[in-house]
Amino acid sequence: MTTPHADSTWNALIQRWQELSDLGDVGSVLGWDQSTFLPPAAAAGRARQMALLAGIRHARATDAAYGTLLDAAQARSDWSPVQARTLAVARREFEEATRFPAAFVQAFSQHTGKSYSAWVEARPANDFARMVPYLERTLELSLQAASYFPEFASPMDYFIDQSDEGMTADVVDQVFAELRAALVPIVDAVAQAPAPRTDFLFRTYPVATQLELGQEIARAYGYDSSRGRQDLTAHPFMTRLGDRDVRITTRVKENDLTETLYSTLHETGHALYEQGVGAELLGTPLGGGVSSGVHESQSRLWENLVGRSRAFWAAYFPRFRDAFPEQLADVTEDEMYRAMNAAQRSVIRTDADELTYNLHVITRYELERDLLAGRLAAGDLADAWHAAYETNVGLRAPSDVDGALQDVHWYGGGIGGAFQAYTLGNVMSAQFYAAAQRALATLEADTARGEFAALHGWLREQVYAPGGTFKPAELVERVTGEAMTVGPYVAYLRSKYGALYGLN
Amino acid sequence: MTTPHADSTWNALIQRWQELSDLGDVGSVLGWDQSTFLPPAAAAGRARQMALLAGIRHARATDAAYGTLLDAAQARSDWSPVQARTLAVARREFEEATRFPAAFVQAFSQHTGKSYSAWVEARPANDFARMVPYLERTLELSLQAASYFPEFASPMDYFIDQSDEGMTADVVDQVFAELRAALVPIVDAVAQAPAPRTDFLFRTYPVATQLELGQEIARAYGYDSSRGRQDLTAHPFMTRLGDRDVRITTRVKENDLTETLYSTLHETGHALYEQGVGAELLGTPLGGGVSSGVHESQSRLWENLVGRSRAFWAAYFPRFRDAFPEQLADVTEDEMYRAMNAAQRSVIRTDADELTYNLHVITRYELERDLLAGRLAAGDLADAWHAAYETNVGLRAPSDVDGALQDVHWYGGGIGGAFQAYTLGNVMSAQFYAAAQRALATLEADTARGEFAALHGWLREQVYAPGGTFKPAELVERVTGEAMTVGPYVAYLRSKYGALYGLN
């Protein structure tokens, strides 16, 4: 990294960025407490506190004097590359914060609140029709949001760029088309093969021991507990409460050995990314993970490429058998590995396994794309959903409850850009992992001994330390030597599931 | 309560007050997390967040437009009594926030930081001499702080008014003189009497059970867990994180049955006060406990007047014996009551029992008063401390570690007003309790059954619901029918310790 010029403009910007970062982190403290420890009666007051703080941050993020400062800085050409990139990211956030008229933001937020409340009732009632007018209005508002950014070729391009800067619908379309073409035959073949035994996963596993094991592996991965902690929430997440305070949450089920383990490893992957950002970038616009897709690549890499690998279970099966001697008395290491990778078609995205998960995402992406392009009417979404599931997943949900009403995203937020980053993350995770394999000769052998320092160190240097310095596609190219491509991911899945299900 | 005028000035003020209240609460969330769950490496970042938020709140609390609004409101005479009082309290806080020049606040804060760091080293080294220059400067700055409020007759009057509005050094001097005169002979007599057995208090008591018992009693007292929670901290405290979010903390020692119990009951007393403030006052300058002294009266009332009473142990000894059957197998209810009220001279304030505690406070108050009046030089404080302890407490600490270096207050803050509220609280607690006895015929009988609803309801109506509506002295008069006086407190101690130690 080039040492930044320490002139007055730069120093003034650094100070503003630090404040914006700190205010964002304070908001995260409120959000973390809301999900972990907030007393039930305090919910309304907490919502008011969070809105107040968001308003204060928004006022500072859109301050005219800040805009003038950015203008002055960007008019100059004597910045280092990192400084120039920092200014570009700051500008991007400034535009995002300033272009929406306040009345639009308020209208969108009010509509979203009403839509969410309606969905909470409509979903259990399987009442898609009730949601149609809400969806129509959400679509309208989503298109209006994109219209404030006319520099993008399409609304979908704007939404994709929001979550992964520089990526476009054309790129995603192609990646997803290739991926679907490769996945569908594998899923078909797996469906024909005998299923592994999974019965033992659902025996009784005391929750305290499950939590201990998850934390033990998180620390082995490289999670720094002096800069974070783990708590319990209804929905697991990773959150940054400060530049040295990156927390994760999990949930635990006494009768499910997979829930705590893999939600912990997933959130640990996100946390390793945030904990690994270079100290010199903290508090600046580059001081976090660069994009949703790259973030997901790290959660998936640690959860799946490492945590569901044969080598991982060579390291940890003995530990699990020590922890649960009676529950795992009749289970072999190989059975454990196979059970943790059991794959089958299903209609619920969040329950889907590593192999079939992407088909759920691709389906949603395509429906979003068609809605935004005017090729699909909101009123036809439920039928289109079932048809797309038959094509992509090979299954049809028995009702809209598990169909178009399944996910909260479109009902409690906007339409566009909500899903594709999950699968882009999977694709990139395999590229990064393949590059790590080339760089680290003993990668699998290390994993088989429960040693992750080399992998963690390599990822920290290659992916985490740069923070937001490189755009996602640029980062992939720098680290892997090639553009984003499904090749390594498809090869990984073919090889893994081929061996698991005897498909070769 | 009179319904407030809903005119535009009032509405603008209400909105500002709600924001100031919310910003204060957000600061409390940061402080609570700092003491409960903050990862060690996050301390510096959290301090920066807290300073940023305090700065934002200060800017809003001292905003010129807010001052203009207050001026305009106070120029009118058509407010209800509650509105007029609300404006007066807001004005008081506005003056407190605006009169100190920024440079003075910064100088004081920087000095305090250095002084605290020096004390952390000087105390274990028993090096009072090292602290003298710091104390001299602290005294100078404390006097300067008071000088911004020339309307008070003396610096001590200013500091006392800060913690208990309307009270003066003359009043406190008299209360403390009467109290000392009454206490010293009781302490002397107790010292001559045989000590009760306390051995069983220090057996092994599993911490989880101790915590459960504490929470059970807190709920029985009336603590509303839907609007709060309890966590563990190094130093117990109560904090308000939102208008329906009043949390307490405790600490637990496996070999001490008193620590968790009485710190929980103490903080529960503070929390009942905050939870009991009338809903219509929340978010306004009257929306919390009125003063430090009155707050302490409630923590002490529930900790001591109730929680250390004979009736309390009639209710809870069976419960404790069920929880700890082996540890308490050789203990009677009466022995438990006596052990929980064992009194003896000691040199450490925070370890002192109910009877001797006030002598520690009076000693500090008088030393502060003499320092501020120029009658005592900072360099002579250590000797003056020992002399005062011999007079008031009847003991001399073996060194300055447990002498003038004992408490953080003068080394990490200012000199003046740090201590007297503890004893004023004790004095008022007995007045309030005596009034409750008059109002509630079955008070002791209720306590003996573990029933606290009537007492809690009476205190809520009389003391908690009004929040900051009445000044401390006014509240005492309204609730008890007499001015603040040591009579009921001395009578209570004489009767209780007379019986305990057979002094009559």
No. of helices (H) and no. of strands (E), chain A: 21, 3
Among B141, B157, B173, which residue terminates a domain? B157
Q: What is the residue-averaged pLDDT of chain A?
A: 96
Q: Quote the tokens at residue B218.
A: 């807190």
> What is the count of structural domains for chain B?
2
pLDDT digits (tens, 9 = 90+) for A88-112: 999 999 999 999 999 999 999 999 9
Q: Hey, is the C-beta of B287 within 8 angstroms of any chain A C-beta?
A: no
B123 in the same domain as B185: no
B238: part of which helix (H) or strand (E)? strand B238-242
Mean pLDDT of the region B441-467: 98
Q: What is the pLDDT of residue B2?
A: 44
Q: Is B2 exposed, middle or buried (0-12, 13-18, 19+ CB in 10 A)?
A: exposed
Partners of residue A26 in chain B, C-beta under 8 Å: 26, 30, 49, 52-53
Identify whether B2 is part of a domain.
no
Q: Hey, is the C-beta of A22 within 8 angstroms of any chain B C-beta?
A: yes
| Location of structure tokens 């054309």 | A170
Domain of residue B284, CATH code = 1.10.1370.30
Query: Pick from B45, B226, B245: which is nearest to A45 by CB?
Result: B245
pLDDT digits (tens, 9 = 90+) for B300-335: 999 999 999 999 999 999 999 999 999 999 999 999
Q: What is the pLDDT of residue A20?
A: 98
Mean pLDDT of the region A331-347: 97
Q: Hey, is the C-beta of B19 within 8 angstroms of any chain A C-beta?
A: yes
The answer to whether the Cβ–Cβ distance between A37 and B242 falls below 8 Å is no
Mean pLDDT of the region A315-336: 98
Identify whether A218 is part of a domain.
no
Interface test with A, best of B48, B232, B239 (most A CBs within 10 A): B48
Residue A479's nearest CA partner among A411, A416, A446, A432 is: A432
Mean pLDDT of the region B41-67: 96
Among B140, B157, B174, which residue terminates a domain? B157
pLDDT confidence bin for A7, thresholds 50/70/90: confident
Q: What is the pLDDT of residue A504?
A: 67
Percentage above 90 pLDDT, chain A: 98
pLDDT digits (tens, 9 = 90+) for B60-79: 999 999 999 999 999 999 99
Q: What is the pLDDT of residue A5?
A: 54
Sheet holding B245-250: strands in order across?
B230-232, B245-250, B238-242
Q: Quote the tokens at residue A371.
A: 């809605």
Identify whether B1 is part of a domain.
no
Identify whether A161 is part of a domain.
no
B82 in the same domain as B183: no
Query: Pick from B19, B41, B244: which is nearest to A41 by CB?
Result: B244
Q: What is the pLDDT of residue A461?
A: 98
- Structural domain range at position A89: 8-148
| CA of B267 vs chain A CAs: smallest distance (Å) | 17
Partners of residue B22 in chain A, C-beta under 8 Å: 45, 48-49, 52
The answer to whether the Cβ–Cβ distance between A44 and B244 falls below 8 Å is yes
Amino acid at A159: F
| Location of structure tokens 């090292």 | B130
Identify whether A56 is part of a domain.
yes
pLDDT confidence bin for B1, thresholds 50/70/90: very low
List the catalytic residues of B: 267
B446 in the same domain as B378: yes
The answer to whether the Cβ–Cβ distance between A225 and B39 falls below 8 Å is yes
Partners of residue B40 in chain A, C-beta under 8 Å: 226
Identify whether B287 is part of a domain.
yes
Sequence-separated contacts (24+) of B74-82 with Cβ below 8 Å: B76/B9, B78/B5, B79/B5, B80/B2, B80/B3, B80/B4, B80/B5, B81/B2, B82/B1, B82/B2, B82/B4, B82/B286, B82/B469
Q: How far is residue A172's CA from residue A421's CA, in Å, rounded to a whole number?
A: 10
Q: What is the pLDDT of residue B235?
A: 93
Partners of residue A37 in chain B, C-beta under 8 Å: 229, 231
Q: Hey, is the C-beta of A53 within 8 angstroms of any chain B C-beta?
A: yes
List the catalytic residues of A: 267
Identify whether A156 is part of a domain.
no
B164 in the same domain as B152: no
Among B111, B127, B157, which residue terminates a domain? B157
Q: Hey, is the C-beta of B102 within 8 angstroms of any chain A C-beta?
A: no
Q: Hey, is the C-beta of A238 within 8 angstroms of any chain B C-beta?
A: no
Given a cut of 90, whether residue A3 has pLDDT beyond it is no
B171 in the same domain as B105: no
Q: What is the pLDDT of residue B7?
A: 87
Identify whether A318 is part of a domain.
no
Q: What is the pLDDT of residue A1?
A: 41
Q: What is the residue-averaged pLDDT of chain B?
A: 96
| CA of B470 vs chain A CAs: smallest distance (Å) | 26
* Three-state secondary structure string covering A319-381: HHHHHCCCCCCCCCHHHHHHHHCCCCCCCCHHHCCCCCHHHHHHHHHHHHHHHHCCCCCHHHH
B243 in the same domain as B373: yes
Partners of residue B54 in chain A, C-beta under 8 Å: none
B102 in the same domain as B230: no
B330 in the same domain as B383: yes
pLDDT confidence bin for A6, thresholds 50/70/90: low
Q: What is the pLDDT of residue A434?
A: 98
Mean pLDDT of the region B220-228: 98
- Minimal Cα distance from A50: which residue of B? B26
B206 in the same domain as B121: no
Taking the model in full, what pTM does it have? 0.95
Query: Pick from B39, B53, B227: which is nearest to A39 by CB?
Result: B227
B130 in the same domain as B172: no
Mean pLDDT of the region A431-459: 98
Given a cut of 50, whether residue B387 has pLDDT beyond it is yes
Q: What is the pLDDT of residue B6?
A: 63
| CA of B54 vs chain A CAs: smallest distance (Å) | 12
Percentage above 90 pLDDT, chain B: 97
Mean pLDDT of the region B102-110: 93
Interface test with A, best of B15, B38, B49 (most A CBs within 10 A): B49
pLDDT digits (tens, 9 = 90+) for A19-69: 999 999 999 999 999 999 999 999 999 999 999 999 999 999 999 999 999
pLDDT confidence bin for B5, thresholds 50/70/90: low
